[in-house]
Amino acid sequence: MKKRLISMVLSVTLIGSLMVGCSGKDDSQDANTTTEKTKIRMTYWNNESTVASLLEYLKEAVPDVEIEYQFIDNSNYDTIVDTQLSANEGPDIICESPASSLKHARLGYISDVSTLGEKFSDAGTSVYSYNGSTYALPGISWFEGIYFNKQLFEENNIELPTTFDEYIAVCKKLQGLGIKPLAAGLKSWEPLLKNSMAFVAAEYLSTEEGKDFGANLRDGKATLDGNWNQYLEKWSEMISEGIYESNMTGIDHDQALEEFATGKAAMFCSGPWDLETIQAKNPDLQIDMMPFYGTKKSEGWLIGGPGCGFSINENSKNKEAAMKVLEAIATEEGQKALWENNQGGSSYLTGVTFDLPEAYNSASSALEAGNVYCPWNEWGVAAAAHEDYGTEMQNLILGNQDISQTLKNVDSAIKELLEK
């Protein structure tokens, strides 16, 4: 009996020891177990290299969130994202254009991020606003101005212009010296679009009279024809003075860049994305950028705006995690990480500035004044008609139509988009 009692005590003790041992092992495992990450998906029309530094930063800033980056080619981006969102599916974080964000906000597809939006300037958030609320956070801006050959300007005692008329005078002086004023690849519709719209922005859209034009156009209350004619008549001196020539419609972007880089033309309209290529072709080229001008003296204007807007899918099952990511982007560190792969642009986050290369010294006043504007960003669902505008401007320079007919044709494209 005694032996059996001792045996039972030993058994209980052994079992107890095993249980304590097992319990201790479980506690150790729990302590070493990594918290499970919330997986979310972010989609963008630019490849991953354009946000590589941002994604690395977010791994540290939001360690409990794992981001799957999905690249969708720009040609299919809107169609794919629209289809997914209409089925209450799609990515958790959507990179939006101003036009798509307006459409998605109207349809209730994306979330109100106004609280975070207050950290950004109005210039950045206005194009992502609907009914007084902000639906996307602006990314780093893109901008385009007029690159110029500093050495050519200095050797020929040419002062930088401060108005459109002075710019025309500079071009005529260069022509008189046998120097091509401006290299332009008008095989693409983009140069005529941007150059002419920059003038209209400086002359009309930035004024009290024209500030609501974009909103009125997207609401079907305004047309280009009847409003822009007088400004394009003035701008068309670029054509009548031979600065833009019809034979340029046979030249592509790369050929125009080559002309400028090799000193065969004094100026070239482009942005930071071409700087490295220009410098690689001619390391000795002294390059700077001036803004576009209207008829009145000002700091000038650059064509540009937010590269993309970060929005949250209203039907996301991981809205809290997605919001953490946007909160991290809306910091100085987040903006710097985003800028790393988009150098040359600027941040819309209040108080955040970046040191720009010397190649933008003469555009710095326009940048500091916030004079960076993209007119078609305010056209809403009709924004796609900016390509029609560029194409119709090609027809204008080829002599196929006058300014009124050019604008009427674009208005027809806008009307069709608004009625869809």
Are the CB atoms for 121 and 348 separated by under 8 Å? Answer: yes
| The architecture CATH gives domain 38-140+307-352 | 3-Layer(aba) Sandwich (3.40)
Q: pLDDT tens for residues 160-174?
A: 999 999 999 999 999
pLDDT at 25 over 50: no
H-only helix segments in 359-402: 364-368, 385-397
- Spatial separation of the C-alpha atoms in residues 234 and 265, rounded to whole Å: 24
pLDDT at position 24 is: 44
pLDDT at 2 over 60: no
pLDDT at position 306 is: 86
Q: By three-state DSSP, how is residue 314 classified?
A: coil
Are the CB atoms for 269 and 199 separated by under 8 Å? Answer: no
Q: Which of 223 and 10 is assigned the larger pLDDT?
A: 223
Is domain 142-304+360-418 classified as CATH 3.40.50.300?
no
Dihedral angle sign, alpha carbons of residues 385, 387, 132, 91: positive
- Spatial separation of the C-alpha atoms in residues 170 and 405, rounded to whole Å: 30
Strand (E) or helix (H) holding 25:
helix 2-32
pLDDT at position 369 is: 83
- Spatial separation of the C-alpha atoms in residues 206 and 209, rounded to whole Å: 8
- pLDDT-derived band at 16 (thresholds 50, 70, 90) equals very low
Q: Which tokens sit at 146?
A: 């007029």
Residues of the chain within CATH 3.40.190.10 domain(s) are 38-140+307-352, 142-304+360-418
Contacts for 171 with CB less than 8 Å, ≥ 6 apart:
181, 182, 241, 243
- Among 309, 305, 346, smallest CA distance to 198 is for 305
Average pLDDT over residues 24-32: 44
Q: Which of 52 and 11 is assigned the larger pLDDT?
A: 52
Q: Which tokens sit at 321?
A: 């995690």
Instruction: Say what angle helices 74-86 and 98-106 make with each other, to 10 degrees.
Output: 10
Q: pLDDT tens for residues 340-391?
A: 887 777 889 999 988 888 999 999 999 888 788 899 988 988 998 999 999 9
Q: Which of 265 and 47 is assigned the larger pLDDT?
A: 265
Average pLDDT over residues 43-66: 95
Average pLDDT over residues 124-129: 90
Highest mean pLDDT among 19-33, 121-135, 226-240, 294-308: 226-240
pLDDT at position 34 is: 58
- Among 257, 326, 315, smallest CA distance to 118 is for 326
Q: Which of 2 and 292 is assigned the larger pLDDT?
A: 292
Q: pLDDT tens for residues 239-289?
A: 999 999 999 999 999 999 999 999 999 999 999 889 989 999 999 999 999
Burial (0-12, 13-18, 19+ Cβ within 10 Å), 111: buried
Q: pLDDT tens for residues 138-159?
A: 999 889 999 999 999 999 999 9
pLDDT at 178 over 90: yes
pLDDT at 392 over 70: yes
pLDDT at position 123 is: 80
pLDDT at 317 over 90: yes
Q: pLDDT tens for residues 59-86?
A: 999 999 999 999 999 878 999 999 999 9
Q: Which of 289 and 49 is assigned the larger pLDDT?
A: 289
pLDDT at position 1 is: 36
Average pLDDT over residues 10-22: 38
Q: By three-state DSSP, how is residue 187 classified?
A: coil
pLDDT at position 4 is: 38
pLDDT at position 245 is: 97
pLDDT at position 126 is: 86
Q: pLDDT tens for residues 81-109?
A: 999 999 999 999 999 999 899 899 999 99
Q: pLDDT tens for residues 189-234?
A: 999 999 999 999 999 999 999 989 999 999 999 999 999 999 999 9
